[in-house]
């Protein structure tokens, strides 16, 4: 069976239909990008994948199991901003997820476990190019560096799927291009399954192996909320992206970990 | 040059001291003038008289306790205010975080604590005196009741300031409710709570001195109100200065603690 299955998913708020008849599957290792006009339910869909919201109808299965109705460590996420812990240094931000896994009571570990976790987090920081900033607070990092850190934070938990919600929307074009190279590189080295929402069409085409488009197909001018958006386009992009763009990643990732 | 662009530069320390010097000067001139008319004047004692009074209250043991009165009073008052603020902080922390983080408990407790915070604390001082008598606990309880509701409401507000994204993120890192409170909410709230505590120092002193004036046998507030009967301004004035200094030192120590223990806090605020 497919890795992530979206089966006849609808989302309605009272009389407003936001999303209707969503039916598609995503395979392990795909890099899906989702675009659509604003208000087409992209964010609503991502909220459902995250567990912040549940479908009004239909089910979403991850590895044949229904998604839990609250966020969990099987789904990692990177938002546009506000997702770093301001009181923790960069390295500690990455360590946090691992620490909580090992210490249910204190959420903090000591001694040899701490050392091991620290090393693991450091590897992740290196992978996103932040080893120099390990001991800085998030407020001392630039916007691009903060997003790198946020990615490292999510990846260290080895999520089954990585959800990106317009992660580069607040960045300047230069750091955005750097981030594209980084994310593609990480996707390749770690064999990630990525689902990214963006409103940058170019970005969606460049990064993804598959492009999904949400839009309304029916529209009643007298009842604008009667019909929701659905999947109108499902484009397979270059299947060999992993291999043939390989040289770009190697420059940022000398030591693949996975 | 516009006034908003003018800076005192190296004269800044001088400017800071200036109002204090002027105040002392005005007092000195006024006291001098009154004493020229009436050498027995009690309203504005001269600096010499104040100095003599300070010497007595700092050096000479009291007949009752065997300790100088300033020492006995300071220890009594500081211990009450420390206990009161300590208990209020713990209440503020626990209830504030619970109400701010857990919607179930917010629904249950938030209107209740908002109502409690509207009770004028002095109005229930008689009740406290009836319940606790002239015991220490009545004075401590007044400070707690006066300060805690304010800290609870502030802490609740701070806990609710945490962005939704951050709370989602920490859940995707596998955190339990307890871990979220311990590793995310608590560090976020702590420096802000200490800031709120600084702001409530004035109220705490107010309640302490009120309680001591009404029912006590030692303490800074008790002494001031006792001396009022004899118009001993040479004791009252240094006591007021001493209380002000104590309040200032408490405020300043809290500021230092916040800066040292939570170095990220000011940076985040910028």
Q: What is the pLDDT of residue A243?
A: 47
pLDDT band at A18 (very low <50, low <70, confident <90, very high): confident
Note the pLDDT of residue B224. Answer: 93
Over residues A60-100, the pLDDT tens digits come to 888 888 888 889 888 999 998 878 999 999 999 999 999 99
Q: Do B268 and A86 touch (CB under 8 A)?
A: yes
pLDDT at site A240:
52
Q: Which two tokens stand for residue B199?
A: 């702001």
Q: Is B7 inside any structural domain? A: no
Using CB atoms and an 8 Å cut-off, which of residues 71-90 of chain A contact chain B? 71-73, 75-77, 79, 81-87
With beta carbons under 8 A apart, name residues in chain B contacting A86.
188, 264, 268
Q: Nearest residue of B to residue A77 by CA position?
A: B169
Give residue A59's pLDDT band: very low, low, confident or very high (50, 70, 90): confident
- The contacts of residue B23 (CB under 8 Å, 6+ apart) are none
- Chain B nearest CA to A149, separation (Å): 13
Phi, psi dihedrals of residue B158, rounded to the nearest 5°: -65, -40
Determine, yes or no, domain membership for B157.
Answer: yes
Please tell me the predicted confidence (pLDDT) of residue B270: 60
More confident residue, B197 or A59: B197
**What is the chain B residue with the closest CA to A137?**
B264
Within 13 Å and on the Cβ side, how many CA atoms surround B30?
10
**Which of A14-28, A46-60, A214-228, B4-18 comes out lowest in average pLDDT?**
A214-228
Q: How far is B162 from chain A (nearest CA, A)?
A: 9
Banded pLDDT at A247 (limits 50, 70, 90): very low
Do residues A189 and A249 lie in contact, with contact meaning Cβ atoms separated by under 8 Å? yes
Tell whether A222 is within 8 A of chain B (Cβ). Answer: no
Tell me if A202 sits within 8 A of A149, measured CB to CB.
no
CB distance A73–B173 less than 8 Å?
Answer: yes
Q: Is A221 on the interface with B (CB under 8 A)?
A: no
CA distance B161 to chain A (A): 12
Residue B96 within any structural domain of the chain: yes
- Contact between A82 and B188 using a beta-carbon 8 Å cutoff: no
pLDDT for A249 equals 39
For residue B43, tell me if it sits in a domain: no
Percent of chain B surpassing pLDDT 70? 99
Q: What is the CATH number of the domain that holds B213?
A: 1.10.3720.10
Residue B87 lies in a domain: yes
Using the predicted structure, report yes or no on whether residue A244 has a pLDDT greater than 60.
no
3-state secondary structure of B37: helix
Kindly list the residues from chain A whose CB atom is less than 8 angstroms away from the CB atom of residue B187: 85, 87
pLDDT band at B208; cut points 50, 70, 90: very high
All residues of chain A having their beta carbon less than 8 Å from the beta carbon of residue B259 are: none
Does residue B155 carry a pLDDT above 60? yes
Are B163 and A159 within 8 A, CB to CB?
no
Q: Give pLDDT tens digits for A73-83.
A: 889 999 988 78
User: Considering only residues 33 to 62 of chain A, which have any Cβ-Cβ distance to chain B shorter than 8 Å?
Assistant: 50, 52
Query: What would the pLDDT profile of A138-184 be if each residue is shown by its tens digit?
Result: 999 998 899 999 999 999 998 999 999 988 888 888 888 888 888 88
Give the residues across from A11 on adjacent strands: A19
CA distance A11 to A20: 7
Binding-face residues of B in 247-266 toward A, CB within 8 A:
262-265
Query: Do A81 and B265 count as a contact with CB atoms less than 8 A apart?
Result: no
CB atoms within 10 A of CB A219: 10
A106 pLDDT higher than 70: yes
Highest mean pLDDT among A24-33, A67-76, B224-233, B238-247: B238-247
In eight-state DSSP terms, residue A133 is G
Q: What is the structure's pLDDT at B269? A: 67
Whether B250 maps to a domain, the answer reads yes
Stretch 128-167 of chain A: residues touching chain B, C-beta under 8 Å: 137, 139-140, 150, 153-154, 157, 159
**Yes or no, beta carbons of A82 and B270 under 8 Å apart:** no
Would you tell me which residues 179-198 of chain B have a C-beta closer than 8 angstroms to some C-beta of chain A? Answer: 179, 182-184, 187-188
Q: Does B172 touch chain A (CB under 8 A)?
A: yes
B267 at A interface, C-beta within 8 A: yes
Is residue A245 predicted with pLDDT exceeding 80?
no
Q: How many residues does chain B have?
A: 270
Test the B interface: residue of A95, A102, A107, A159 with most B CBs within 10 Å? A107
Compute the distance between CA of residue A166 and CA of residue A197 in angstroms, rounded to an integer.
5
Mean pLDDT of chain A: 84
pLDDT in tens, B138-149: 999 999 999 999
Give per-residue pLDDT as tens, B242-269: 999 999 999 999 999 999 999 999 877 6
Q: What is the pLDDT of residues B67-86, one digit of tens each?
A: 899 999 999 999 999 999 99
- The Cα A204–Cα A232 span in angstroms is 15
pLDDT band at A248 (very low <50, low <70, confident <90, very high): very low
Residue B172 lies in domain: 69-269
Residue A218 has pLDDT above 60, yes or no: yes
CB A100 to CB B264 under 8 A? no
Indicate whether B256 belongs to any domain.
yes
Confidence of residue A241 (pLDDT cuts 50, 70, 90): low
Which chain A residue's Cα is nearest to B161? A82
pLDDT band at residue A239, thresholds of 50, 70 and 90? low
Residue B35 lies in a domain: no
* Chain A residues within 8 A of B267 when measuring between CB atoms: 137, 139-140
**Domains of chain B: total:** 1
**pLDDT at A226 > cutoff 80:** no
């Amino acid at each position: 069976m497919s890795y992530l299955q979206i089966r006849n998913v609808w989302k309605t708020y009272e009389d407003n239909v936001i999303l209707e008849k969503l039916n598609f599957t995503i395979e392990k290792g795909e890099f899906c990008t989702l675009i659509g006009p604003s208000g087409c339910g992209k964010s609503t869909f991502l909220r459902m994948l995250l567990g912040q919201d549940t479908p009004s109808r239909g089910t979403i299965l991850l590895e044949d199991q229904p998604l839990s109705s609250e966020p969990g460590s099987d789904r990692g996420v990177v938002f546009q901003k506000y997702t770093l812990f301001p009181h923790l240094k960069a390295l500690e931000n990455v360590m946090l997820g691992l620490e909580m896994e090992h210490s249910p009571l204190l959420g903090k570990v000591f001694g040899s476990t701490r050392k091991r976790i620290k090393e693991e987090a450091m590897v992740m920081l290196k992978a996103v190019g932040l080893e120099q900033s390990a001991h800085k607070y998030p407020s001392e990092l630039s916007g691009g560096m903060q997003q790198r850190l946020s990615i490292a934070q999510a990846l260290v938990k080895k999520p089954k799927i990585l959800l990106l919600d317009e992660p580069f929307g607040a960045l300047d074009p230069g750091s955005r291009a750097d981030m594209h190279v980084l994310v593609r590189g990480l996707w390749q080295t770690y064999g990630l399954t990525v689902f990214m929402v963006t409103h940058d069409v170019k970005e969606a085409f460049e990064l993804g192996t598959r492009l999904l488009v949400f839009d309304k197909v029916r529209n009643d001018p007298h009842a604008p909320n009667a019909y929701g958006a659905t999947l109108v386009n499902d484009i397979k992009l270059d299947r060999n992206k992993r291999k043939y763009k390989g040289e770009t990643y190697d420059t940022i990732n000398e030591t693949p970990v996975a | 040059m516009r006034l908003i662009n003018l800076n005192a530069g190296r004269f800044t320390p001088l400017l800071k001291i200036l109002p204090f010097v002027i105040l002392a000067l005005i007092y000195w001139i006024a006291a001098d003038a009154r004493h020229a008319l009436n050498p027995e004047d009690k309203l504005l004692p001269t600096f010499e008289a104040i100095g003599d009074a300070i010497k007595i209250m700092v050096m000479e043991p009291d007949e009752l306790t065997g300790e100088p009165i300033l020492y006995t009073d300071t220890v009594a008052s500081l211990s009450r205010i420390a206990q009161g603020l300590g208990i209020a902080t713990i209440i503020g922390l626990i209830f504030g975080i619970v109400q701010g983080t857990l919607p179930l408990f917010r629904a249950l407790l938030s209107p209740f604590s908002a109502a409690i915070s509207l009770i004028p604390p002095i109005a229930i001082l008689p009740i406290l005196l009836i319940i606790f008598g002239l015991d220490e606990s009545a004075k401590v309880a007044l400070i707690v009741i006066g300060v805690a509701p304010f800290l609870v409401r502030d802490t609740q507000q701070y806990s609710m300031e945490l962005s939704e994204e951050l709370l989602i993120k920490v859940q995707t890192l596998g955190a339990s409710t307890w871990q979220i409170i311990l590793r995310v909410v608590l560090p976020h709230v702590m420096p802000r709570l200490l800031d709120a505590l600084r702001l409530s120092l004035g109220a705490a002193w107010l309640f302490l001195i009120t309680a001591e004036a009404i029912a006590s046998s030692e303490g800074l507030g008790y002494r001031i109100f006792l001396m009022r009967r004899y118009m001993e301004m040479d004791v009252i004035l240094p006591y007021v200065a001493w209380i002000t200094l104590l309040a200032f030192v408490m405020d300043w120590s809290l500021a230092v603690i916040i800066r040292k223990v939570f170095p990220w806090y000011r940076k985040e605020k910028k």
